[in-house]
Structure 1
Amino acid sequence: KPIVKQYLGAVEKVIADGNKFYFGDGSARVEIRVVSDEIIRVRLAPHSVFLDEFSYAVPVVDQKVTTFKLEESEDSYSVSTNTITCKIRKSDFHISFLENQNQMVMSEDAVPMHWEENVEFGGYYVYATKVCQVEENFFGLGDKSGNMNLRGRHFQNWNTDAYSFGWDQDPLYRTIPFYTGVHDKAAYGIFFDNTFRSYFDFGKEDNSKTSFWADGGELQYYYIHGPHMMDVVKRYQTLTGTHPMPPKWALGYHQCRWSYYPEKKVKEIAEGFRSRKIPCDAIYLDIDYMDGYRCFTWNKTHFPDPKRMIKELANDGFKTVVMIDPGIKVDDNYWVFKEGKDNNFFCRRSDDYFMEGHVWPGRCQFPDFTNPAVREWWGNLYKELVDIGVAGVWNDMNEPAVFGSGTFPNDVRHNYDGFRGSHRKAHNVYGMQMVRSTYDGLKKLMRNKRPFTITRAGYSGMQRYGCVWTGDNVATWEHLKLGNIQCQRMSISGVPFVGTDIGG
């Protein structure tokens, strides 16, 4: 039997369970869940079996709801709050979202939700296609390059090490599958909470349709009502979280490049700022401060007494931020590798071989940051750095990047907090879970100080654990313009603490 796309059919059955309403067509099942007065979640189970309820982006789904109800008419069902209505047409499972005050349709299906069996990996390719209004414009999706308005463009979400990326290059470093649609002077949001490789088409293939789909996982999205754009972003952040208050110094100017060493060079840079009376609050140390690029070590030739140097920099008003990458050098004489190996903390492939790849230290293995035990271990590794006065940590290369192949193969296995999966499922959250372990570790080790963490890769919700920068740009006018646009786009995508390498 050939594999074909299957579409939802006529609604045959409805079951109410608190704030969740289940609609079935005899084979597939759809859950409509009232999250708040302005947010409704939609989930599709192609054969009526939903995946386990778990999300790195949304720690707690349900919020306060004033009132909600299910009503039936001759041709449709309606799930309503005091602000919005989700209408499900009986004949073809067409779903639409309306504003109660004026009954304006904010978002509606162009065709019913659909899916296609994935023979190679199991599960399904899942699709949603919405009507694209004639005058509708779209914003968000994180750090995409190019114009602010996404209308007429196609995007892919797969965290990618994209050095010297260009205008309209895609994909880039982060996955934020959340956009805001604006039409008729009103705004709404769609958050497609799916960590697999995903795609968005904003009227490029068909000017009358907007689509989003993924290579696996569940078709699960949140409709987020405005009516103003800022309302949409704020409500998205009630789902995915907000950035914790950073230390005051983190709001100042930070000086970073690849790379400042030895200590004499670092001191020259610091003196240059002070002698020229240029404000600066932090200096970053890239991978060359390490011993052979081994994380959590120091090159004692370049930095014979890091504690003294960091104290002297602090006396002159500079905080020290150091880089830590995920790749751990394969070396039985290296204490971090030995601990990870002894505790089985490194990622493995489908046939139980370790995931190995070459990055800066050479041949490396990589911690599985989706394992809570690994995150706890990794967070504690920062103790020596904190003890000698390091004020912040920069997590880089965590797409994860691998020389040659680009990233991990699909068959790498991950714990995924007990909801096990392959790298197809975990790739886009790997960087987020790395900076999570860094943030949690620093918060514990620094006690009453606010941690400062910055990450290159991430997924929706990463703002709970760190800030970001726009990645490895170059010294061109185009990149200066791109960085400005990207910072604005990240801010309206729920990640307001973002910067760019001004000088490239």
Structure 2
Amino acid sequence: MTPSKAWSAPRWTTVVVVLLATLCCLFVPALGVKHENFKKCDQSGFCKRNRQFADKAAATTSWTSPYALDPTSLSFSDGILSAVVLKTVKDGQEKVRLPLKVTFLESGVARVTLDEEKRQKGDIVLRHDSKARKERYNEAGAWALVGGLETSKGAALSDKVEEGFTKVFYGKGGKHQAIIRHAPFEIDFQRDGETHVKFNQRGLLNIEHWRQKVEKPQEEKKEGEEAKEEEKKEEAQGEDESTWWEESFGGNTDSKPRGPEAVALDITFPGYEHVFGIPEHATRLSLKTTRGGDGNYKEPYRLYNADVFEYELDSPMTLYGAIPFMQAHRKGSTVGVFWLNAAETWIDVVKPKSIPNPLSLGVLRHTDTQTHWISESGLLDVFVFLGPTPQDLTRQYGELTGFTAMPQSFAIAYHQCRWNYVTDEDVKDVDRRFDKFKIPYDVIWLDIEYTQEKKYFTWDPLTFVNPTKMHKQLDKSERKLVAIIDPHIKNTDNYPVIDELKKKDLAVKNKEGNLYEGWCWPGSSMWIDCFNPAAINWWKGLFKYDSFKGTAPNTFIWNDMNEPSVFNGPETTMPKDNLHFGNWEHRDVHNLYGLTFHNATYQALLERKKGTIRRPFALTRAFYAGSQRIGAMWTGDNLAEWSHLEASIPMILNQGISGFPFAGADVGGFFGNPSKELLTRWYQAGIYYPFFRGHAHIDTRRREPYLAGAPYTEIITQALRLRYQLLPAWYTAFHEAATTGAPIVRPNFYVHPDDEKGFAVDDQLYIGSYGLLAKPVTKEGQSSVDVYLADDQPYYDYFDYTVYQGHGHHNIPAPLEKIPLLMQGGHIIPRRDRPRRSSGLMKYDPFTLVVVLDKDGNAQGTLYLDDGETFEYEQGAYIHRRFSFDGKRNSLSSSNLVDRVTVKGENYLKTMAKVRVEKVIIVGAPKSWRNKKEVVVMEEGKKESARKKTVEMEWFEGGKGRADWAVVRDPKVGVGRGWRIDFD
């Protein structure tokens, strides 16, 4: 939520303060984002300085980077190269020592860190009242990284000695090479002898080193001298010191006790035209340039988690989350970098053009992508990935920051939400009406109004009279409830939570070291500091059933406003000179705050009750690298407009390739009232979001699917049933993400990495590894869509088996009742076809296998199953099968993908013993089967007499551009056992 509604507050004076501070957002119609509330690069001192630094370097033909590696400091041991980089300052009179470490990891990833040599006490003059740490923040990795840091045993210095260079071979078979130039300091990262990533090629490396603050005496100016003074400043040579020690914006002043400490570096991807990633921005998948050119951005991409009211589209402006992971892609190669820094960060992207060869007749082509990364504080800490495939990058990044948490099965079904369901009777009525209209759903959500006076861990006694009874009604249909809990704690009397927060000293502090007080929904509030381990332990206790009374095992949590959003703070967030645990300034950790709060909630849900532990579900709005280990995210407060529906597709695709695939957007749009056509089309698109939730603002009209009326309710219901029908495929895709880092929904370049024409395609998506290609309708009045096919395999319409084949665009009918969905030949898709009220009621339903033959008559697919609730899958309690159709033998088989058999695994197999495959559909069935009436089925684990049997088969002719198909009904084979069906 974003400020748009009044809140309760303890005194009239404080109400006036809050109203004045947030007037731009309160009681006004939707007017769009308030740009004046958020900085541009020129208004952010460190960004402006480094952009000017870049301009100076570009304008000087003789520019040389002032950074050089001291060769006498070099050492190499156990996969780690250490040295000192010297920064020349003050016309060569001073050298700043910057310890360098290049770590070569067993995975083939390289890590480069550049710090600043620790100064002795007294070397730096800080504000006398500052409690901030003097050294650079170096703990981002403790939150973001969980593995993949084993150093390479095979990394080795080159035997060839070359003056001015140091070379290291690393990676599998020594195919990677880091070439480190000493003066000026540069690094080239090569794969198979070709450079793919270059550090400091343009000489924009800039570590703003520690320096003493010199208090200049104030001179009395005579009349008329002010203008002359300004002229002198403009003419002065050297660095702009105006924002070194203090900076103001929007009426707020940021004290900077440590002075300027930005880190910046240019990173070039030679030969790469397309770069992706660095979410969260409302942009296309392939990132635009930010410095010049028609249709491109004038501002850098900004990463600074913020509560942006009614965010605009096609913009590099910051949003709610930050993942500083960028990929560059071209035919045959994908590489990338991960900029491990949690401070405010800006990224320029430039794509210079050059003539590729003398015979090109003047035709210009992009050959390089040049990026410029600028962070306000912290270390320079960068991971380099050399691929060569998109799958390599997502796996290696996941090994470092963690793979997606395996959710409970209900979490990937449909969620029904609005701000707010106003009473417990309202919740129960919505639940009953979904059943009345036979519309499936799994989760209903509560926003802030369920609390008593915006006090979290309470229920409003007048409106939520009996939350236990409400939970019990939901539980009868295996449904869940999600309640919102935000990081701001109401600062009021007679509220034990705030009393304990203060007593235990667990809140964020201001620059003087006192408890920080700001304003949010409750009025005066304080913010829990989850960088403090004691705060996490305290937070865990608040969620226990005897503490948060009225909750139950089917209660889960939504973390909103955790950027953190502060209504009266600079840029609607917390002052940068606030202090966190360990006396780190907020500027150092800002982009991590949301992750730490989300993590505390996840830990709390794990410990609610002793005994069998259920997997937590916790949604977050703010995030950082590593948040994927904890739960889901959504794209925040979008608008009920066609353009926002269209933008949701590339935004969610970008989340997926950036390591956080459990992503969604508010179906229907948060602000405003969608037309019935828009609402219907949004549901048809939303069924392809990994996180699928309908949500709306409190001032919008109610829009539950059953209210739309004919034919819209029926069409939306059919879309929802399609999502539920394909839940086995979705759950298997989640398992793949949780074990390999692969996106759940995938852009064209990820599936077809050699198809150059499709690299920028971002309005369609593939679901998991199933060849399911969806193209949502995102334009008003549209009755057909152009789907881009990147290969020459046959693609079949999911519903009527119409065949589309051939590289390029194909027009597909899409009247309102039609969902454009194709099946790529070569895949086997598992589904559950029986309509149920919730996913929990489908647990023991039989399966249908849709075998979609490729042009050679083959197909493959997998199915992953576990109990959908606990962590027992980690002890082997799961089913993982591979299905294969061999076109030469005309046989379909099921084989085991489980590596080991455990007691838990055997027990789980017993619970699933009666779950069977009830139907097999062969799409693209050979015409030679026309007269075939039977198939032979053989199953493992049965008595000899029952192992082989004959089952009926029916063949159907497609006609009119449709494929032929065949159906085997009830082959009587168990989903957890091996079997084979012979069609010849």
Q: Is the 8 A contact 1:143 1:487 kept in 2?
A: no
Question: Which digits, 9 at most, give the CA deviation of each residue in 1:427-477, with x for residues without a partner?
Answer: 111110001011011112254211111101011111111211111112111
Please, which moves more after superposition, 269-278 or 171-180?
269-278
CA distance in 2, matches of 1:319, 1:208: 47
Question: Which digits, 9 at most, give the CA deviation of each residue in 1:308-338, with x for residues without a partner?
Answer: 1111111133200100011111123001111
Alignment match, 1:407: 573
Matched, 1:225 2:386: yes
CA distance in 2, matches of 1:412, 1:328: 17
Alignment match, 1:166: 312
Question: Which digits, 9 at most, give the CA deviation of each residue in 1:7-51, with x for residues without a partner?
Answer: 312542311232221122453332111122410000112447895
Q: 1:317 to 1:60 in 2, by over 3 A?
A: closer
Alignment match, 1:377: 538
Query: Which among 80, 84, 95 is matched to residue 169 of structure 2?
Result: 80
Alignment match, 1:8: 67
Question: Which digits, 9 at most, give the CA deviation of each residue in 1:263-316, with x for residues without a partner?
Answer: 222122212221222210000010011001100000011111101111111113
Please, which moves more after superposition, 310-319 or 297-306?
310-319
Alignment match, 2:83: 23
Q: Is the 8 A contact 1:355 1:408 kept in 2?
A: no
Query: Which among 642, 645, 659 is matched to residue 480 of structure 1?
Result: 645
SS in 1 for 2:651: helix
Pairing of 1:253-332 with structure 2 (within 5 A): 253-332=414-493
Query: Which among 324, 333, 345 is matched to residue 198 of structure 1?
Result: 345
TM-score, normalised via structure 2 length: 0.49
Q: Is the 8 A contact 1:311 1:389 kept in 2?
A: no
Alignment match, 2:266: 129
Alignment match, 1:95: 187
SS in 2 for 1:111: coil
Q: Is the 8 A contact 2:67 2:183 kept in 1?
A: no
SS in 2 for 1:194: coil
Residue 156 of structure 1: how far off its partner (Å):
0.8
Matched, 1:35 2:127: no
Q: 1:459 to 1:376 in 2, by over 3 A?
A: same
Alignment match, 1:388: 552
Alignment match, 1:464: 629
Matched, 1:239 2:403: no
Matched, 1:397 2:487: no
Alignment match, 1:106: 196
SS in 2 for 1:88: strand
Question: Which digits, 9 at most, give the CA deviation of each residue in 1:212-246, with x for residues without a partner?
Answer: 11011111100012101121111111100012211
Q: Is the 8 A contact 1:12 1:25 kept in 2?
A: no
Alignment match, 2:657: 492
CA distance in 1, matches of 2:264, 2:325: 15
CA distance in 1, matches of 2:461, 2:321: 35
Q: Is the 8 A contact 2:594 2:623 kept in 1?
A: yes
Q: Is the 8 A contact 2:486 2:561 kept in 1?
A: yes
Q: Is the 8 A contact 2:404 2:662 kept in 1?
A: yes
Q: Is the 8 A contact 1:37 1:66 kept in 2?
A: no
Residue 411 of structure 1: how far off its partner (Å):
1.5
Question: Which digits, 9 at most, give the CA deviation of each residue in 1:140-193, with x for residues without a partner?
Answer: 112211111114132011001123211134100001001101135311110000
Question: Which digits, 9 at most, give the CA deviation of each residue in 1:77-126, with x for residues without a partner?
Answer: 11221231111013322101000x3x111101323432224742326211
Q: 1:186 to 1:144 in 2, by over 3 A?
A: same
Alignment length (residue pairs): 497
Code of the residue aligned with 2:340 in structure 1: it is: D
Residue 247 of structure 1: how far off its partner (Å):
0.7
CA distance in 2, matches of 1:158, 1:137: 23
CA distance in 2, matches of 1:377, 1:410: 25
Residue 342 of structure 1: how far off its partner (Å):
1.0
Q: 1:229 to 1:45 in 2, by over 3 A?
A: same
Question: How much is the aligned-residue C-alpha RMSD, in angstroms?
Answer: 2.2
Query: Which among 602, 613, 617 is matched to residue 448 of structure 1?
Result: 613
SS in 2 for 1:145: coil
SS in 1 for 2:499: helix
CA distance in 2, matches of 1:145, 1:79: 39
Residue 353 of structure 1: how far off its partner (Å):
2.9
CA distance in 1, matches of 2:465, 2:280: 39
Q: Is the 8 A contact 2:169 2:176 kept in 1?
A: yes
SS in 2 for 1:86: strand
CA distance in 1, matches of 2:386, 2:77: 23
Query: Which among 330, 333, 354 is matched to residue 186 of structure 1?
Result: 333
Q: Is the 8 A contact 2:144 2:625 kept in 1?
A: yes
Q: Is the 8 A contact 1:382 1:441 kept in 2?
A: yes
Pairing of 1:139-150 with structure 2 (within 5 A): 139-150=276-287
Code of the residue aligned with 2:613 in structure 1: it is: N
Q: Is the 8 A contact 1:326 1:366 kept in 2?
A: yes
Question: Which digits, 9 at most, give the CA deviation of each residue in 1:402-423, with x for residues without a partner?
Answer: 11320111121001xx4x3111
Q: Is the 8 A contact 2:544 2:608 kept in 1?
A: yes
Please, which moves more after superposition, 9-18 or 171-180?
9-18
Code of the residue aligned with 1:83 in structure 2: it is: K
Q: Is the 8 A contact 1:345 1:374 kept in 2?
A: yes
Q: Is the 8 A contact 1:94 1:111 kept in 2?
A: no
SS in 2 for 1:348: coil
Q: Is the 8 A contact 1:30 1:45 kept in 2?
A: yes
Q: Is the 8 A contact 2:148 2:396 kept in 1?
A: no
Residue 132 of structure 1: how far off its partner (Å):
4.5
SS in 1 for 2:453: coil
Q: Is the 8 A contact 1:328 1:337 kept in 2?
A: yes
Q: 1:111 to 1:61 in 2, by over 3 A?
A: farther
Q: 1:25 to 1:216 in 2, by over 3 A?
A: closer
SS in 1 for 2:498: helix
Q: 1:83 to 1:380 in 2, by over 3 A?
A: farther
Residue 69 of structure 1: how far off its partner (Å):
0.5
CA distance in 2, matches of 1:432, 1:450: 18
CA distance in 1, matches of 2:439, 2:150: 46
Q: Is the 8 A contact 1:7 1:115 kept in 2?
A: no
> Which 4+ runs in 1 deviate beyond 6 A?
3-6, 204-207
SS in 2 for 1:445: coil
Alignment match, 2:303: 157
Code of the residue aligned with 2:399 in structure 1: it is: T
Matched, 1:429 2:600: no
SS in 2 for 1:41: strand
Question: Which digits, 9 at most, give the CA deviation of each residue in 1:476-496, with x for residues without a partner?
Answer: 111111222111110011001
Residue ranges of structure 2 left out of the alignment (5+ in a row):
1-48, 54-64, 87-96, 120-134, 211-243, 246-255, 291-299, 354-367, 670-984
Identical-residue share of aligned pairs (%) = 30
Pairing of 1:343-358 with structure 2 (within 5 A): 343-358=504-519
Alignment match, 2:322: 175
CA distance in 1, matches of 2:635, 2:585: 27
SS in 2 for 1:221: strand
Q: 1:348 to 1:75 in 2, by over 3 A?
A: closer
SS in 2 for 1:38: coil
